[in-house]
């Protein structure tokens, strides 16, 4: 097992042949797109990941490179109910099978359950980790129970109600009256 501060570039074939197991612990601040998602909140949250590459049979029975990825972190976001910071726990556990080309991935994508990636000599593991965490974030982050009272009315009780306008047909009715 190899420990890293930041995920390295992988030579996928060689890593799978060696059954390479890598892991690391770092901070969210090492990931630019995740920091944009946090809107400047705490970027020092711990971020741990493990990547296991191995050879396993593909659907045809031939050995193929696979990657098992796990990520654990907490991403600070803004609660959409109370607009206060909320810590969103993120846990990713995914498996990917590598294929030789984009065309082969497109051809096999509908037939297989696993996600397919294209083999590379310099596969960017850090970008994959960041993508998976971003995909795991909720569309609408919120607290289970907000720490502050959330206003449920659209207008304050002290807000002046609009003055009633006279009914225009009532004026016409007065014109119809004799006299």
* pLDDT per position as a tens digit, 53-81: 999 988 888 899 999 999 999 999 999 88
Number of domains observed in the structure of the chain: 1
| pLDDT on residue 3 | 60
| pLDDT on residue 2 | 58
* Beta carbons of 117 and 65 less than 8 angstroms apart: no
Report how far Cα 113 is from the mean position of its chain's Cα atoms: 20
| pLDDT on residue 156 | 62
Decide if 165 is inside a domain.
Answer: no
Query: 50-53, long-range: CB within 8 Å, 24+ apart, which pairs?
Result: 50/21, 50/22, 50/23, 51/7, 51/10, 51/20, 51/21, 51/22, 51/23, 51/125, 52/19, 52/20, 52/21, 52/22, 53/10, 53/12, 53/15, 53/16, 53/18, 53/19, 53/20, 53/21
Decide if 71 is inside a domain.
Answer: yes
Decide if 174 is inside a domain.
Answer: no
User: pLDDT tens digits for 10-57?
Assistant: 899 999 899 999 999 888 888 888 888 887 777 778 889 999 999 998
Decide if 170 is inside a domain.
Answer: no
User: pLDDT tens digits for 109-162?
Assistant: 777 878 888 998 999 999 999 999 999 999 999 988 888 887 766 666 666 666
Q: Per-residue pLDDT for 176 more than 80?
A: no
Model pTM score: 0.75
Decide if 171 is inside a domain.
Answer: no
Decide if 172 is inside a domain.
Answer: no
Alpha-carbon torsion angle 23, 128, 45, 30, nearest 10? 100
Domain around 126: 2-155
Decide if 176 is inside a domain.
Answer: no
DSSP 149: P
Burial (CB count <10 Å: 0-12, 13-18, 19+), residue 13: middle
Count CB-CB contacts under 10 A for residue 178.
3
Decide if 11 is inside a domain.
Answer: yes
Can you tell me the distance from the alpha carbon of 176 to that of 169, in angstroms, rounded to the nearest whole number? 11
Can you tell me the distance from the alpha carbon of 171 to that of 74, in angstroms, rounded to the nearest whole number? 65
Count CB-CB contacts under 10 A for residue 67.
23
Q: Per-residue pLDDT for 1 more than 70?
A: no
Band of the pLDDT at 4, cuts 50, 70, 90?
low
């Amino acid at each position: 097992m190899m420990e890293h501060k930041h995920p390295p570039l992988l030579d996928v074939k060689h890593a799978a042949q060696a059954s390479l197991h890598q892991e690391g612990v770092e901070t969210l601040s090492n990931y630019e797109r995740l920091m944009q998602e946090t809107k400047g909140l705490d970027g020092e949250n711990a971020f741990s990941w493990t990547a296991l590459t191995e050879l396993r049979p593909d659907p045809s029975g031939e050995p193929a490179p696979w990657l098992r990825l796990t990520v654990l972190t907490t991403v600070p976001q803004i609660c959409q109910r109370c607009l206060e910071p909320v810590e969103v726990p993120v846990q990713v556990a995914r498996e990917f099978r590598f294929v030789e080309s984009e065309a082969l991935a497109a051809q096999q994508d509908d037939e297989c359950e696993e996600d397919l990636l294209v083999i590379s000599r310099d596969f960017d593991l850090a970008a994959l980790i960041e993508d998976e965490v971003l995909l795991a974030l909720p569309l609408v982050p919120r607290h289970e129970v907000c720490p502050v009272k959330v206003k449920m009315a659209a207008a304050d009780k002290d807000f002046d109600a609009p003055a009633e306008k006279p009914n225009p047909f009532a004026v016409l009715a007065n014109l119809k009256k004799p006299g």
